[in-house]
Every structure is written in C-alpha cells, then in structure tokens.
Structure 1
Amino acid sequence: MSVFLHCLSHTPLVGLVDPSPEVLAQVNGEIASARDRIAQFDPELVIIFAPDHYNGFFYDVMPSFCIGIAAQAVGDFGSAAGKISVPADLAESCANAVLNSGIDAAVSYRMQVDHGFAQPLDILLGGLDSYPVIPIFINCLARPMPSFNRVRLLGEAVGRFAAGLNKRVLFLGSGGLSHQPPVPELATANAHLKDRLLGSGRDLPEDERSARTDRVIHAAHKFVEDQTTLHPLNPEWDRQFLDTIESGNLKALDALSNDDVSVVAGKSTHEVKAWVAAFAALSSYGPYETSNRYYREIPEWIAGFGALSARPVTR
C-alpha cells in the first residue's frame, strides 16, 4: 500500500491565450516533472477531485458531491474528449464507503465532465484511459455550495476507503486558485442562459460552445490589458492557502466562509476545495510532507496557477 498526491490548477485557455514563452516553459517544466514523478509511482488507481463549469452538472439537479461510476469527457475548449476508464465496482464501493461515513454524495452512471477533469488526466497521465480513475465532482461554482468543512470530511472518507485497498493510489486535485472568469450566474442570467443553466446546456450546440469559448478568450485578452475588467487575482490569498495546505492543519480552513472567499479571491476560487479534498484524503494515511510547490499569477489564464505534490512522511 502506498499513496501519492498531486494538485494542479487547470485552465481552458492553454494554447488559446498563453503567457510569455518563458512563463509557459516554466509551467510546462513543472507539469513534465510531475508527470515523471507520477509515472515512477505507477498508480494502480487514480482518484481525482475536480469541479465542473456547467458542462456536466446543472441546476436541474446540482449535488454538492458526485462520484462517477462511469464518465465521459465532453472536450470543451479543445480538451481531451471521450470515455474515462472508471472501474465501476471500485467506484461503487467508494460511494458506499463515503455514504457509510455520513457524507451524502450522489452517484452517476453517466457522468459528463469537462476540462476540469480531462486536462489533468490528459497532461499528467497521458490520456483519459491510461489508468483506472474514480472521478469525484465537487460543486465549486453553483450556489449554494458545500462548506470547506464538508469538503474536508468528504476527502477523509475517500482516503479511508483508499487506504483499505492495498493499492498504489494517486490522489489528484484539479482547480485554479484565485480567479473569476466570466461564468454566467443563475440569479442574473437572461432567459436563454437560465434555460442552459437549468440543464439544456448539457448538449450544447457547437455554435454556442464556440461562442462561449470566444467570450472567454476575449475576456482574457481584456484582463491582460486591464485587470480591473474582472475580479483581480489575489496572490497573497493564494500563497496563504498553499501555506495552510502544506502545514497539514486542514481544519483551519473550516472557518473559511464561502461568501468571504468569493469577495476576497473571486467566485471561482472555490475550486481550491478540490485541493482540500485531495489533501484530506492523503491525511487519512497519516502526516504528510509536500514537495515541488509552484505558484504564479497568470493573467492570460485568468488564474492564480499552482501545483503541489505530497506523500506520507517516511517513518
């Protein structure tokens, strides 16, 4: 039995609005290094915590958490598309273990995911079907959202399940740090967008998907020129969050208010809950030590962009 963790920010804008070649080379170097460490670990099971951006989960039914028993990536923003290799029996066992721990997670036998899941699976593992993967969705966008406390408890429950498998398990957490790209909100959406948010966006016509991509690209270009056009990035908050995660004191995050995080760091910053869940899962194996921390604010990607690896403390 062994375990490894890697958390990484994702961005739909990679290859569409990129930072300078120097910054891009730096990020690609960090990703390549993580990919090598994961390949050396050679996981027998991957458990990924990630959000959705109204491509698979909508307000017709919006769970706080959902465990995929089968999953398909939609391929938004040019990300990898297709079937994710989910071991159904293990995923069902994980769901039962989580429910028995008192965490009410939904299950899906037809989960649809977007770049939040597909990008790390593709760039870190070499594809959607390279390893057996249990995908776990965390609602990080649609109000009302789960608290940091509930996310931590979810991660701990998943970690206890994984620790009993006698397998090499890789935990992945996928999410941006401070950021607020132009994502529609139910409370302010027009009639057409509201219908999409209520579920019709699950099978978005190609022309609308292209227009959505173009809107985000346009917003990124404007943000690079003038960072008052969107909620500003908050490197101080990002670094403090990374410090807390590294300290192992995950319970300190329980006090964070969803509303306060939105105001201070942006409404999409709740994607850090994927990191919290992954580290909470790792904590079920005992104290951990971190390595290969990376952080940079990247306006071109409208995100505080980070990466961090961890494994149990060697005794």
Structure 2
Amino acid sequence: MSINNHFISGLGRKTLLHKGRSQLPRLIVIHYSVTNTVAEAAMALNHEKLSYHILIEKDGTAFQTRGFNETAAHPGLSNWKSEKDIGLGNSVAQGSVGICLMNKGYAYDKTLPQSASAPGKLIYNPNDQSMQRWEKYPQAQINACHQIASDVIAAYPITEVVGHHDVAIMGKFDPGPLYDFSPLNALLPSPKLLGLKTTVDSKDGFLNLREEPNAQSTVLQNLANGAPVHVRSVTYGSRVACIQPSPAKRKRYLTAWASVSLGDDNQHAGFVHMGGLKSTPLTPTLAAFL
C-alpha cells in the first residue's frame, strides 16, 4: 500500500465527529478499543468526541478516519520523552498517529474460548490481579496493523512506536502485554530517541528505583547520587496523588513519579520519585512542588 495526500490508497474510510488540527507525525501510538467491532468503536468515539486515525477489525479490515497530517483525539493527557515543559494539560496528540485495534484487553469477553486469551503482565503495574489475562490479537489484525504502521514509518519522520500505556502510564492500559512492538521499532533508525538525561541528586545520597510508581512498591535498586537516568514518561494517578495541590477537575493527574531508563539502554528500568533527580522535564512551576 502507498500513502497519497496523507491517506493510504485502497483503505476504507470512516467519518468521526472530532475534527483535528494540522500536524507532522513523529510518533505512532497503538491502542485497543474496548469494543468488539469498528461500528461499536465509532459510536463510542463519536459520543465522547474522540478519534483515531486508523481502526482495525479483528479480521484485519482497516479504516482511516482522517489524513495523517490531521491530529486525532486519541491519547488524552499524556507525555513521552519530553525534554522540558511537561504540564498538567500535556498531550502527545499533536504529532502522533493513533492506530486502534478492536480488542477488549483485560476486560475480554469471558464467554470466549480459552484459546482467545492469554496470560500477561504489564511492565508498569505487574501486580494488579485484575490485569493478568488479556484478549489475544488475531494474526490478520496484527498483519494489517504492521502493514499500515510500516507505511506510516516510510512516509513520515517517525521516531518510535509505543502503546497508550507508555505515554499515559497508569491511565489506560492499552494495547497491553500481548502486543509486540519490536517488529515495528526494528524498522526505525537506531538508537531510538532517549528521554531527558539527568542524574540522581538526593538529599539521602541515593534514590530508590521502584517496581511501581509509589513509595510502598518493591525497591528494585538503590541508585547512588550521580547515577545517570533518562526520564521516559511522567506517570499519572488520582487527584490526591497529583503533583500540584488543589488541581482543577480533570480525568488524569500528573504525579511526582517517572518511568526511567538507566544509561542509554532505552528500556523501562523502574520508577523514581522526581524529587531525587537533578532536573526533570516538568514545567518550572510544577517542579517547584517536588
């Protein structure tokens, strides 16, 4: 398939109510729909005035809702490897392509045969007992997604392919642990973009690297002052966990915790409290609350 005037040739079209703005895509974000069909997804999206660029049925039939040069309302509040100025309203919607696969995730239909689901643990919240089994993605659907994403990668300066659960950690947990990003990221230039590089600078002389983004979580490692880290994504949480006191009412709140990689390996190593870092990608106003 080829992309002409920002649309994939031969792909079906779906009209969604949400209208976007002009953009240059640099990131692909993969989602699941929490519905079984594109018709169900389109109804839910129009009700909420949300959108994706691509919707893919379980049998691999795909639809495009807008040109890739127009934003879609798919990631909500989110951030990914920003160098600075992450605020309460930050979103990767500008500059990203949203691809949504029809799948119910960990809320899969329990009447499905056992073979239609499989065990899996998210790297960000592996101990949540409600998220230990997930609906599988049929091969035809995976093939369609891979082909479409490959076309987008060939046409635009895409730096990375990630999941919604990467850019909105502890927000919406899609596409889940059964989606393999490695074939698509293998098509991209290497090494991949790194997040803000900083160092540990804690009054205690060390910083705990934790399994989950909270002070009660298992400590994976003690990072000594001066240890280098890259901030991948600042996590989200409940209102009481918000980094800023008395925030305005919203669906998702920035916290003081961030997913980090150690050195230049570009992999999620664990979570740290950003109060123990020399610098953060937060706005100066938010950083003052750490």
Mark yes or no: TM-score above 0.5.
no
Which structure has the highest strand share of the two?
Answer: 2
Larger RCO: 1 or 2 (CA < 8 Å, sep 6+): 1
What range describes the TM-score normalised by the shorter chain of this pair? under 0.3
Structure number with higher helix proportion: 1
